[in-house]
Amino acid sequence: MDAQEIIELLKTKEKRLTKAKREMIDIFLNTEGFINVNDLRDKLSTKPDMSTIYRNLESFCEIGFLEKIQKDDRRWYKVKEDYGKHNHYISCKECGKKKVLDFCPIILADRKVEGFDVTGHQFELVGICSECKEKEAKNDK
């Protein structure tokens, strides 16, 4: 999806295109991976209030531009990928570093569950990265 497609989707949902929305679109299109709301706000030059940011993020999720995960009482957002090509992550519970898995741990035959057409899923592994594990081992000595 490019910026113009997103703008057109917003228009079809009768959403206004504000300076903040346009800037948020650009930030997400130029960022790999997830962004939390606080980091997003720091990147915005327009500095809208948090309720505006959350409303805009929900609008972006509604039109299929962004996907959201909830982790450690924070919401994380990233550009939604096509369902056929998507990523899963493992994150360090100590430092928060994320790594993309090179496989999908959820296998759905024919992408169907009785009574449903599966359109997506969320799955995240949590662990401790090697750097944090080393620090932990040094602190235990």
Annotated binding site for Fe cation: 86, 121
CA neighbours within 13 Å on the CB side: how many for 141? 5
Closest CA to 87 of 98, 99, 100, 77: 100
Q: Which two tokens stand for residue 105?
A: 């741990």
The annotation places the binding site at 86, 92, 95, 121, 129, 132
Residue 101 CA from chain centroid, whole number = 15
The annotation places the binding site for Zn(2+) at 92, 95, 129, 132
